[in-house]
Amino acid sequence: MSTFTPLSFSLIEEGELEKDLNDALAEVNKGLLDYRRKFGIEAANKAKGEVVLKIGVTCSDAKEGIYNIRGEVSKKIPTRPPRVTSAIADMEQDGVETLFTRRSGTTKDDPRQMRLATEAGEAIDPETGEKLEQPNVE
């Protein structure tokens, strides 16, 4: 009776490759869901995740009939989409031209346009243009 069994996917690396593949698939699934939640439906419409499994079998000793099995799992999760925001060129007090933005930070809107809240919903002081401190509510 042989102590060997035919090679199968679940036996490569004593099952570790299969586990890594399942873990990578779970990470890609979570990454795509997180991407949609964070960046919205429009950005997520073309978002793509990918899991790649490579298995290579190489004869390392033809005389003895020894083969090496190389397993590799890689994944791609969508990254932050590019966003364009605006600043305005103006002179500093010392006469050096630089880029300026609202005190609350850049947005896609014209920096000269006053805002009442940030994109995240934080209130902006209309007199200073700075984000208002949120009161501690307990």
Coil, strand, or helix at residue 25?
Answer: helix
Give Cα 120 to chain centroid, integer Å: 19
User: Does the structure show a pLDDT above 60 at 135?
Assistant: no
Q: What are phi and psi of 28, to 5 degrees?
A: -65, -45
User: Does the structure show a pLDDT above 90 at 16?
Assistant: yes
Greater confidence (130 vs 4) lies with 4
- How many residues can be counted in the chain? 138
Which pLDDT score, from 0 to 100, does residue 137 have? 53
Which amino acid is located at 116 in the chain?
L
Is the Cβ–Cβ distance between 49 and 29 less than 8 Å? yes
Is the Cβ–Cβ distance between 83 and 73 less than 8 Å? no
User: Chain-wide mean pLDDT for the chain?
Assistant: 85
Q: For residues 105 and 27, give the distance between their C-alpha atoms in angstroms, rounded to a whole number.
A: 32
Is the Cβ–Cβ distance between 130 and 117 less than 8 Å? no
Is the Cβ–Cβ distance between 52 and 73 less than 8 Å? yes
Greater confidence (112 vs 101) lies with 101
Q: Are strands 97-100 and 88-91 parallel, antiparallel or unpaired?
A: antiparallel
Q: For residues 79 and 81, give the distance between their C-alpha atoms in angstroms, rounded to a whole number.
A: 6
Which amino acid is located at 120 in the chain?
A
Domain boundaries, the chain: 9-76, 83-138
Is the Cβ–Cβ distance between 58 and 67 less than 8 Å? yes
User: Does the structure show a pLDDT above 60 at 136?
Assistant: no
